[in-house]
Amino acid sequence: MGGVAASISKTAAAPIERVKLLIQNQGAMIAAGRLSSPYNGILDCFKRTYAEEGLASFWRGNGTNVIRYFPTQALNFAFKDDFKRKLGYKKADGFGLWVFGNVASGAAAGATSSLFVYSLDYARTRLSADLKNVGKGGQRQYTGLIDVYRQTLRSDGIVGLYRGFVPSVLGIIVYRGLYFGGYDTVKDTVLVGPLKGNFLASFAVGWMCTTGAALASYPMDTIRRRMMMT
């Protein structure tokens, strides 16, 4: 059920995600002749994308994103528990070491799992930012996921599928470290007593950890997306 819920939520949020990627990569798209002029904000991006490509285009790349979710989550949690066991820090070892263990295990899990799923993230970015060429009769560069792999491997080899990998890992270390480590730490220190098992309290803690981690890692996300487009 968790996977189904995640697929539905990602599909529902796909238009926002595509607009985010288009705005992040508009410089590269202008240079490639796929965008005539910069977007004047989020609403302008929504309006122009709908007018030029239609409603269905907001879900371009969503299938790849949904496929990517399952191995990413499975690997993240598997590696996180493994790294946490190997570090072995408990509350009894001191608060500082305990927090470090939570953050380090989450960061290591995210960085390690990225080795296996990064090419899917690369393909999803290329598909989402693949606007119809304004100078070639509205043609796209890629026909789908397999075509992204085929063209990239032909032109750049396996290395091409890992463009932006280093800033991606740095961003993952920050995001997963704060997300997993922060949640584990706050959960065990705040969600105690009357707050233990409280839905609203758990939701608030999860939201704060997710938002904080996303804000801290966003600059690295922009850098890696732009490197993917070079």
* Torsion sign across C-alpha atoms 70, 202, 214, 53: positive
From 169, 178, 130, 171, select the one nearest 25 (Cα to Cα).
130
pLDDT at 179: 79
Q: What is the mean pLDDT of residues 31-39?
A: 89
Domains plus CATH for the chain? 61-228 (1.50.40.10)
Give the integer Cα–Cα distance in Å for 160 and 154: 9
User: Residue 13 corresponds to which amino acid?
Assistant: A
What lies within 8 Å, CB to CB, of 149 at 6+ separation is 119, 123, 161
Greatest mean pLDDT range, 61-65, 107-111, 135-139, 206-210: 61-65
Indicate the range of 26-35, 73-82, 145-154, 155-164 predicted with least confidence. Answer: 73-82
The 10 Å CB-count burial string (b at 16+, else e) for 173-197 is: bbbbbbbbbbbbbbbeeebeeeeee
From 137, 119, 144, 141, select the one nearest 62 (Cα to Cα).
144
User: Confidence class of residue 17 from pLDDT cuts 50, 70 and 90?
Assistant: very high
Greatest mean pLDDT range, 2-16, 58-72, 76-90: 58-72
Residue 226, pLDDT above cutoff 70: yes
Q: How far is CA 171 from CA 184, 216, 223, in A?
A: 19, 8, 10
pLDDT at 34: 86
Condensed to tens digits (0 to 9), the pLDDT of residues 130-186 reads 998 766 667 889 999 999 999 999 999 999 999 999 999 899 888 877 877 778 778
Indicate the range of 28-32, 93-97, 154-158 predicted with least confidence. Answer: 93-97
> Tokens standing for 201?
């309290």
pLDDT at 56: 95
- Lookup result for tokens 């990517």: 68
pLDDT at 63: 93
Give the integer Cα–Cα distance in Å for 128 and 207: 26
Angle at 225 between CA 215 and CA 80, to 5 degrees: 60
From 147, 85, 104, 145, select the one nearest 121 (Cα to Cα).
145
